[in-house]
Structures are given as C-alpha cells and as structure tokens.
A and B are shown apart, each in its own frame.
Chain A
C-alpha cells in the first residue's frame, strides 16, 4: 500500500476534500499515460461522445436504490457535455448474467461501465482485463484492478443524523430496521444509525430483520410488518424499495426513508430519509476520465462532497428536534464532522465487549470491513 501513497496524495490534492480510501491498488503511472489522453481527445464537444453504461440490479422504477442511480445517470448526461448514457435494468447478481451485461457494453465500445450492485463485482473483475481501453466502476465493491475502480459514499453520516431523528421520535424507544444482507455496508449503516439514535435516547433498541434480498417489495413489506407487530415505533431500512415505508404509513407508525426522499410515498410516516446523490460522483468521475486525470481508485465520498445527504425533515417533527438534527447535518455537510467521528470510542459491542476504546477512532479500513454490531442493536450480525 505504501507504494501508492504518492499517487493517492496527488489525487487527494487534486480532488480537494474528496476522499480516497487508502490502498487504491492501481499503478501510479497510469493516471497520466496515454489512455486518459486519448479519451480526453475523443470527448471534446465536437468529437466522439463519451459513452457511459450503467448496470442496475433492479428496475429504474423502484423509487429507491436503482431510481437514485438513474437520477445520477440523468444528471451526468445533462451536466457533462457530449456524454451519452445507456443502462440495463434487472441484472441479477448471478455471474453468468452479470458478466454478459458488462461484457456486452464493453464490446460495444463504451468508455465507462458502471455496475451498481455489490454482487456484480466478480463479473466486472472477470471482464475488465480483456478491455483495457474501458474504465469500470464497481459501486460498493472492494476489489480494484488496473481499469477497475470502486465507488461508494459515507451514507453512515446521514444514517447517524436520521438515527437521531428516529431515536427522538420513538416513544417506547424501540426502532425496527429492515436490512438486506449482513455485509459490512449494511452493518456499519445500522451501527451509525443506532449510535445516532442513542444520542437522543441512550436506552433505544434497534431490532434488525434480515430479508436476504436487495429488491423484493413483498418480502421487504412483510419484514416491516413483523417488526411493527413486535411493537416498534419507527421503521428504518436498508433495501431498494419503498415497501417498508408504505407498511409504516398503513400502520400509523413513523419511518426513515433510504436512497431517495420517500416522503411522497408515505407522507405521514417518513420523518426524513438518508439519500444518495450519485450524480455528484458520476459527474466527477466522467470529468476526471475525460480530462485524462483518472487512475484506478477507491472513492468513498462524504456528505461534504455532496454524494450523500438527508431529505427535508417532515413538518410534523417537533421544532427543537428538527433544529438539533439540522445543526448536526450542517456539521457533516461542512466537513467539520465525518464518519470517523461517528466511530470514535467509547463504543461497546453488542455482546458487551469493547468495540472502540475511549478516545480511539476506527480507521477507514476498519469501518469499511466492520463485521459486528454496537450495543443496542438486537439481531445477529451474521444473519
């Protein structure tokens, strides 16, 4: 890793506040070699268009995860001149299918192929070496290669603030969390949410139900219903659709949305939502590649970068709670607080053992690879 320190520092300096996870495993020289320049020449306003392809796990109409990515795609096309985009929806995480989708776009000569689901990773890594002139971005992945980068955002920051709102509004101190898979991405989100809720109420509990699916409105909804039957006051979620929100709305409970502002689907339930602004990342990445300044990297964008945010807080949330949450949000948005501050000790693990010592902070790598729950979460961190 030390080998790449220089390249990273260079990139960091170039990107200003934008975060790069330590350990981007790309060759340092790559950033300034021929490939980037060729692309830059191609993508002048009157040259060949810069073509970007997206591979989605769900339908663009899911009003959640895939919808958020598609909004990013549209923003990219509208913002960066001479960019053409295409997408394939409903591509499962099965390698035989995902690989065909990734390869299909690479063969058609797309300059950048973006696969948006964790399970698309093996397919991207299998195809990329055969198409050295194409750049690949794997959203939420962890493995890079010469022309494969990973991209994600510190959604833990908005999760923490939405957790505070949920903790403040949970009358009996019980929150339910519909979660897809016990992988670090989901675990650390639940932890950040719980730590935020504990700011409002130290005795709050967050009950986790695993669905073992990213996208399944029916399963997501019945999981939310089972949590409501257990007596939770607020439903949070890490899924792709608005199913849990609609169940909360029907049951007269509160809810925290995810991916996009879900208040339209459940106006009386949604307190606020932890949202993605993928456009900010996609525009940046495309501009970097076009300018020839791109090298394989692991992007982990913060609230201050504009990649993540919270949706407006509902007007039925009491003024003082909303104001406190807004103040918190402002700290993250301005960069004075970050994900590292959330995971600074003392933090106790679910089983009572020490998670993070008093005053110590988890490193980015430790946060990204988190496999345990904090105290206050009820449910198994291994599914």
Chain B
C-alpha cells in the first residue's frame, strides 16, 4: 500500500518581521509616547490594585510628592541636575554610536579632581577663582576618564563599552581609597570622607532651596551642545560617523580623532556633574557620591532621543518620578520597591512604544515575502 499522492503543498510557515519605517508620522511620534505612558500607568495600577492599593491615590501622591509644593518642585530640580549633565554627556557619545557606559566613573573622577582643587590646589582662593577652577578640574577629570576608552577605541579599536564600564569600578574604588586613606579628614575620628570645603567653593543656591548653579551649567551645556551638533561641521561629522563609520572614513573624516574628542566631551560633562554635586550639595568628598546617575543617564539620553532639549525635559520628568516615588513611601507607607517598579514599567513601555514608532511589524511567509 502506498501513500496517496498529495496534491496540496504544505502551508507556508508564517512569521513576523520588523521593518524600519522610513519616516515615522508626526502623529505617531506624539501619540505613541502618550499611549505608552498611559499603558504603563494602567499596568502599574493593576499591580497596585493587586497589592491592595488604590492606584489613583498612589499616582496622586506621587505627582504631589514631586510637584505639589515649591519645596518639592525645588527638590525635583535638585535631582534633575546630575541627570541632565550626565544625560547630555552620554548622548553626545551615543550620537556617534560610541557606547559610553562610563558616565558613573567619569562623574566620580570629576568629583575627585574638583576636590583636589577645593582642598589643595586653590584652597585659599575666593569664590570667583576657586569655583571656575573646580569646574575646569571637574571637566578635566571626567574628560580624562572618558578619554582613555576614547583613545583605545579611536586608535586601537578596543570596544569602548567594556573599557568605559570597567573604568567605573576603578574610579569609584580610587575615590574610596582617597577618602579612606590620604584625603581622610584628620579631624574625622578615623571615619572616611574629606574635610568640609571652604565656603568659597559653595555654588550659589536659589533662595532657601537646594537648587544650585549646576542647573545653569546643565541648561547652558544643552544649548551649546544643540548648536554644536546641529550647526557646525564637527557636529555634522559626528552624525555621519554615527550612521556609518565607513562612510565617514570614506569621506576623509578623521573618525579616530573625532571619537577621542567625543569621549572627552562626554566624560567632561559627567565630570562637571560630579563637580556640581560636590560644590552644590555635598561640600566634601564622601564614599558615596552617586546613586547611579551615570547609569540612569543612559535612560535619560535614550528617552530624550539624544536631543539636548529632549534630555532637559526627560531629566526633569524622571527626577520627578524618583522624588515622587519617595513620597509614596513617606505618605502611604508603600514599600520602597514600588517606585522603581513603576519606573521600570514606564521605561519598558516607552522604549517598546519607540520600537513601534520607528518600525512596523509585518507578516512574512516562508519565502521571506511580506504578505
């Protein structure tokens, strides 16, 4: 007995494929992020409902905690400053497709250089000398720490993702060694941390709030960057190299040198963030300076679509989310994990929404033809 001959071919295997949209519509660019945030809030709310909380009152408390009073708005601005400066820093590198994951270390190294200026280099100078000197020091420190992976990548082709990430640990441990060892406050009873800087190093603050001059550094940096990236030849070269390194090389652009410069600028901005946290808030070098600003900066840069003005907005909103998240702990007694969970969900949906704006999903048959 033989098998009957089949007359119909097997059904084609179907699958799905992402196809890049050449130019996403304006409507999609506006509606998709809004829909993403709404979807995130709904999912987050469902989880809260499941945990026995009223999501509406949680969201109201969060909003209130971030923006509900002058004091709270000012604290959101305080939180925004390091996110803005580090976010701008990594965005410059990301524009050239240089994956600088080292903003955290560059932040610490900037803080270390600024500390040297404040305690040793210009210890007895007036504010008009010591503050600019600390700014230069902070930017130099960050630029040095960003420049190392820049040179390694630009001239030797070493993967900058790995080197910049690894240098974070080196910088944090180096700062830790300084505050435990040679820079430890002699009057600090053996505890880590440098002595408090002279009052001349303190950045001016806005009224009675903690909002300090670092906010101006961030806003000015955003304006300058926006101009440089969009209106100068160098900015053009960066974006070409970001799209295709080979094209940039073919066009005779010095991509290696540009990579180094980009990493210097990127690190310098993170270093300035470190300096402004010290001169504006901490006033001494302590073991812990950052709760991970350099990593949150990556999120800020992406959500801001690597656009300096977008980054200002995102840094402000994300700072509000972080500050508001603390408020729900305080007023509703929710576990501290709720706020980061919400942040995670919102970022997940925003980035997912991004994908849907830039790509469309198409069905494909086994032969690969879209149907």
Smallest beta-carbon distance A357→chain B, Å: 21
A104 partner residues in chain B, CB cutoff 8 A = 326-327, 330
Q: Is B143 an interface position by the 8 A CB rule?
A: no
Given contacts A96-B277, A383-B180, contact A122 B286 (CB under 8 A): yes
Question: Of B75, B180, B290, which contacts A182 at CB under 8 A?
Answer: B180
Selecting from B45-53, B119-127, B189-197, B309-317, the interface stretch reads: B189-197
Q: How far is the CA of A181 from the CA of B177 in the complex (A)?
A: 11
- Give a binary string over B336-348; 1 marks a CB under 8 Å from any A CB, 0 the rest: 1100000000000
Contacts of A108 in B (CB 8 A): 330
Q: Which residues of A have CB within 8 Å of B335?
A: 59, 89
CB distance from B280 to the nearest CB of A (A): 9
What's the Cα separation between A30 and B1 when bound, in Å? Answer: 108
User: Which residues on B sit within 8 Å (CB–CB) of A118?
Assistant: 191
Q: How far is the CB of A120 from chain B (nearest CB, A)?
A: 10
Return the CB mask of B104-121 against A: 1 if under 8 Å, else 0.
Answer: 000000000000000000
A100-B77 Cα distance, complex, nearest whole Å: 12
| Chain A: minimal CB distance from B325 (Å) | 10
Q: Are A99 and B210 CB-contacts (below 8 A) given A86-B330, A104-B326, A142-B189?
A: yes
Residue in B177, B180, B329 whose beta carbon sits within 8 Å of that of A88 in the complex: B329
Task: Give Cα A99 to B193, complex, Å.
Answer: 17
Contact assessment for A96 and B281 in the assembled complex, using a CB-CB cutoff below 8 Å: yes
The verdict on A184 contacting chain B, using a C-beta distance below 8 Å, is: yes
Distance of A143 from chain B, by nearest CB (Å): 9
A97 close to B (CB within 8 Å):
yes
How many chain B residues touch A (Cβ–Cβ < 8 Å)?
A: 36
Write the A157-191 contact mask toward B (1 if CB under 8 angstroms, else 0): 00000000000000000000000011110000000
CA distance A368 to B291 in the complex (A): 29
A93 with B287, Cβ < 8 A, contacts A88-B326, A182-B180, A184-B191 known: yes
Among A59, A95, A212, A371, which residue has its beta carbon within 8 angstroms of that of B173? Answer: A212
A316 to B250, CA, bound (A): 75
Cα separation A97 to B292 with both chains bound (whole Å): 12
The 28 listed contacts between A and B (C-beta, < 8 Å) are A59-B335, A86-B333, A89-B335, A89-B336, A93-B287, A94-B289, A94-B291, A95-B286, A96-B277, A96-B282, A97-B326, A100-B326, A101-B326, A104-B327, A104-B330, A108-B330, A118-B191, A119-B287, A142-B188, A181-B287, A182-B192, A184-B189, A184-B191, A368-B189, A369-B189, A370-B190, A371-B190, A383-B181
Q: Which residues of B contact A (CB under 8 A)?
A: 71, 75, 78-79, 82, 173, 176-177, 180-181, 188-193, 210, 277, 281-282, 284, 286-291, 323, 326-327, 329-330, 333, 335-337
